Each structure stands twice: as structure tokens, then as C-alpha cells.
Chain A
Amino acid sequence: MTNRPLTCEQFDAALSDYLENALDPAERTALESHASTCDRCRALLAELSAIPTEAGALHDLEPSRDLWPAIAQRIAAPVVALPGAAARRERRPSVRPWYLTPASLAAAAAVLIAVTASVTALAIRTGRTSAPAGAVAANNPAPAAQPNDSQIDIPAPAPRVTNASATRPNAVPVQEVYAREIAELDSIVRDQRSHLDTSTVTVIEKNLHIINQAIAQSRAALARDPNSGFLHHQLNDALNQKISLLRTVALLPART
């Protein structure tokens, strides 16, 4: 590098490297000395240098609405009943606080996170919109065997409709997703009951009955008017309520 003064064009060309600290000392000096004599280039340098500082000091922005409820819904993973989950329950010195150790879920709690949430999210979302049936099926493993001694009314899958007449091609798989998840939660909840006090169990059973009635009424209406989007929506709301209640119960802390 010679000591010849830079032109503005040379200054512009070297400016990026200057700001990146990628010039050697002689080049830096040449650039700075040009800036000290040229108003245009001095202003350019000062303003460009200020931008990263200002950018680093930008305040965080706030979403226009609470984004959590939708996240919570999506991460509410299906519960998979573990064989022998109850048997594995043990009273070891508690590492987790008692309220994070639901009575029936010492093992199943871990499973709550292990299973991806996509099935539930899909079921809930496609209840309202219409995703391709294939998408649901792809994410939906074969329905698990339902316990045949279930005390809770497990909704039977909706009558299968042919593709030709189906306004909601995803209706059947979604119902199966619900049925499967409800069955699995139900078995965990049954295990849980003996660890809850009787008045709480009474409240839960009464409310499950209320929801089951709502499901039955929505189904009956839907049978008469199978294409009603409103009724599909109502049914899905009731099924979601049931899942939400079962999940709440599954995660309730034990009485002791």
C-alpha cells in the first residue's frame, strides 16, 4: 500500500472490509486519513458505524396476542399407556416435588413427552379445517387395542363415509385419533382413581358423564345432518373437553 491518498471510490470499495476489521494497519490508516479530509466519506463512515451499535440495542418486540394457548394445545402430547406402569410405581425418596409426581404416572409422565404431539395437533386442527386424509393417516399409527373393560364410554369411530360423499375426508381418521387417545388416557385415569379422594372421583365421574352426554347428543344430531360443519365442530369441542379432562386427571397429584 502506498501513501497516496485514496479516492472516494477506493474508500467505498474498502469500507466494508474496514468495518469488518479486515484491513491491515496501513490500509486502515489510509482510509481514516481520507475520511478526515472528505466530508462525504466521513459522514458515511460515521453513519455506517453507528448502525450495528443501534441494531445491537434494539428493544425486544411483543406479539400482539398471547401465543401460549396454541402452543400448549400443540404440545399436549397423546398419552401412551405403559404396560405395567402401575406396577412400576414405587415409593422411593422423591427427587421431584410431590405435585409433579402424579400417583399413577411415575413412568407414564416420561412418556407424555416422548410421544410427538403431531397427532393431537393434527386432530384438533383438522377438526376445523380439512387437511388431506393422507396426512392424518401418515402421522397416525394403527389404533391401539382398546381396553375392553373400559368404564368410560369410548366413542366409536364415526361411520365410514366414502370419498365421493365425504365433505370432510379426514373425519374418520380424526375420530380414530380421538378414540385411541381417550382409550389410553382412560386406562391411566382408572389406575389413578384409587389414589384420589372419593369426592374428587365423584366430581370427575359426574363431569365425564356430562361430557359423554354432550358427545352423544352431538353424534345423534350429526347422524341426522352429517354435513353440518357446525356439528362436527361441536363434537370436536366435546371430544377435546373429554381429552382435556382425562389429561387433567391423569396428571393430578395423589392425595398423599
Chain B
Amino acid sequence: MLTATMEDVVTTIPSEEPTSDVALAAAGDRQAFERVYRANVQRVFSICVRMCGDRGRAEELTQDAFVRAWEKLPLFRGESAFSTWLHRLAVNVVLNDRKVLGRERARAANGDDDEDGEALYGASAPPSHADRMDLEAAIELLPPGARRVFVLHDVEGYRHEEIAEMLGVTSGGSKAQLHRARLLLREALNR
């Protein structure tokens, strides 16, 4: 009788588990937050790597993102999925970092990179392992402006309107950057 009851319950009640670690973490439970971290770190790290194009820096930004998430978690209202909330937060951490650090890099990379990023592909050698570059490596070599739009749109699935808001550009600018990124990637992948 007991077993029957249990099986009924097991088949009808969906798992509450992911919600619960987030809720516990929001209430200050660090162990629960570590589980949230473990469950999400690869996703967040991937966003950071692809957005900033530097693995070492991406590791630091990933840490910053989770510290921010911990601080802001009590404010998370569950209006969006937790993962959506967290990924957006990670994107913001990378973009804010760009404002501080990126200026030097942008300057080093020839003005605002946006005009003739093509030169990057022309000049730089393909990545060490490759006769034929894989997409991951090709993304890394994109000029920063095109890379950010490409990652946000084609990898992360944001819409142009959202990207425009995040990056402080127009929706049309976002579309143009995306197209340019795809053309550059195609060129890189075909060589």
C-alpha cells in the first residue's frame, strides 16, 4: 500500500530540485550556491570565453559573474528562468569589463576594430593545431565588435533588439556586425 502511494507520487510530481538549490542559495546557503555554481560554471565560462576571446581573463570574469550572482541572488524573483538570469548577468560582467580593460585592447587592435577587422584574418596565422580551423578558434579570432554580436546572437540566441540594448548600438548595427562576423567566419573556416 505504501509503495503504491509512493509510485503515484513519483510519477506525478516533477522534480523541484534545480529550483531548490537556487532558492537555498538565495537564502544564504553557500553549499547550495556551490551546487548552483557546479551546475552552471561551464555555461557561464563558455559565454565569457567567447565574449572576451581570452581564456585566462574569462576564468576571472566567470568568478566575478558568480560573485555578482551571489550578491544579487536575493533579488532574483524567478520572473525568468534562473539560467536566463545568470547568463544575462555574465554577459553584463563581460561587457562592463570591456569598458574598463577593453579600451587598451581596442586601441592596440587598431582604433575601434570595427572598420577593418578583416585584417586580423589576413595577417594572423591560423591557430596552432590547424590546417582547417574549427568554429571555436575562428570565433576567437573575430574582431571584438563582431565577435560579441555573433556570440550573443548565433551562440546565445539573443535577438538583435536585446543585443542593441546590451551593447549600446542600434539594431541595424547589430545586424550588420552579425553579417560581417558570419562572412569572416566563413572565410576562416574555408581556408
Contact = CB atoms under 8 A, between A and B. Distances in A.
Given A20-B175, A75-B33, A56 B154 contact: yes
Contacts of B54: none
B154 A44 contact: no
Given A54-B135, A72-B34, A16 B175 contact: yes
A72 B30 contact: yes
Interface residues of B, number: 44
The DSSP consensus for interface residues of chain B is helix
B42 to A, nearest CB: 4
B165 interface: no
A87 interface: no
A75 B70 contact: yes
Contacts of B34: 68, 72
Contacts of A109: 28
Contacts of A148: none
A234 B121 CA distance: 49
Contacts of A64: 55, 59
A51 B186 contact: yes
Interface stretch (B2-10, B111-119, B122-130, B177-185): B177-185
A109 B31 CA distance: 13
Interface in A24-55: 44, 47-48, 51-52, 54-55
Given A20-B175, A60-B46, A67 B63 contact: yes
A55 B135 contact: yes
Interface in A59-84: 60-65, 67-68, 70-72, 74-76
B67 interface: yes
Interface string B85-106: 0000000000000000000000
B49 interface: yes
A251 to B, nearest CB: 9
Contacts of B153: 52
A145 interface: no
A235 B59 CA distance: 29
A135 B136 CA distance: 39
B109 to A, nearest CB: 22
Contacts of B29: 100
Nearest to B138: A51
B186 A47 contact: yes
A110 B27 CA distance: 7
A156 B150 CA distance: 55
A116 B66 contact: no
A47 B190 contact: yes
A113 B74 contact: yes
Contact of B59 (A16, A19, A67, A74): A67
Interface of A: 15-16, 19-20, 44, 47-48, 51-52, 54-56, 58, 60-65, 67-68, 70-72, 74-76, 96, 100, 109-110, 112-114, 116-117, 121
